[in-house]
Structure 1
């Protein structure tokens, strides 16, 4: 079977971190493109991607593998999607590690890094991508439990993994955080989610200037996706909202996960050697002036 045929026929169910209903998503999110031309930009790199079992994380994981990186992924609950991602990375020809658990648990985050270092000895690229969101029209409907859960996944997880990874990141390593267009233009129905994504942008800018980072020439950047079609979307928004969802940008359509992957490859590779503290906007043409 040709590489193009594999991409077309082996797309997974593809869920997102907190959603296990991906088989109901139509159309299926596309995490690979047969048009992608790899150039060995990450050859020999050891990489870790949270929320890497599906959606944006899976797209980045497969692109990293095609660029020559070994890839470890962290996922929350979808065993089938995680297994697909692992198999696909190995099929591409790279090593894969898989860790299941809650990134918002500091002990688990430390365990992931400890096991990865024991296996590979180093970590060159950390992608903090795991995230969740919950649609609420009124702030009064956001429970303390929901608020804690959203921040624990989106913010605490990023802090915990970065904190655990820092002693092991070599000179010139790269940290990439997944922010969102909502950090810049807001979202009236994703208040807690938008707040976490704004915090991720601020963390990225701040940590990139931290002496611990600058002394090791580690670059810290983020990617701010716009409306990307992952199972998180139909699982989050009311059906009536999906008719016009993602069509307000210049390209007038939602994006697919694979369309974000090159941004992660760029920030992970030496192509972005003079880029740190920045956010790349991949949003279909919505100008956010940020």
Structure 2
């Protein structure tokens, strides 16, 4: 078997593989930079919470319209935004911190979503919602994911400075009248939007993987925000490509395969990356002489 047969032939020969690859590339463009900002804000687990918060809305959309892309996406978006807003209100109205309220609400949302899907559908429907079917992405799914990526990149370009400033010094942003709360709200909306796009392909349990693992791995390769975002996008796209190839050649579920490739990239980066990795800590100075 040649390198062409291993690495390119599936995408050349099968339209469903090409659509899945394009969906992964679009997800990488949106999820990569958003994941980097989550990591810089030390809100990585909040991304996981929001990915589960999407589930009850998607489940209600499923009950109303079946496996309708737009109904499930609209429901997921509304549910994710509702959880994000409620968690913020709880943290401001009580003594509880925002991360704790997110944890409580996402557990409620996850259990509610599983119950709704289980009561109104089959086990296959539940697996579809939880783990996604990226190999079944159609033209409507591609349009949705590409639209979300476009909105994300345009918003990040317009609000780049306040978003980065809030990562490192939110107090300064409020002091200079930079609108800390609105900026935070826009950012959480971007997170939910990208998770909605991701759950169509990877399911609610796996969507956050393509957002957080490449972003976490990028910290071992770059230090500036824009280079972190670029590395995260490249790693996410490569993980999508590699995971699809693994799923094709070894008959594996595509969503978990993609996330496991991203996880392998994270472990390799943690071990051997040039910035703060195990290699640089165990052998300080050696990477500088090289």
Q: TM-score, normalised to structure 2's length? A: 0.27
- The structure where strand makes up a greater share of residues is 1
Higher relative contact order (CA 8 A, sep 6+): 2
Q: TM-score, normalised to structure 1's length? A: 0.27
Q: Which of the pair has more CA radius of gyration? A: 2
- The structure where helix makes up a greater share of residues is 2
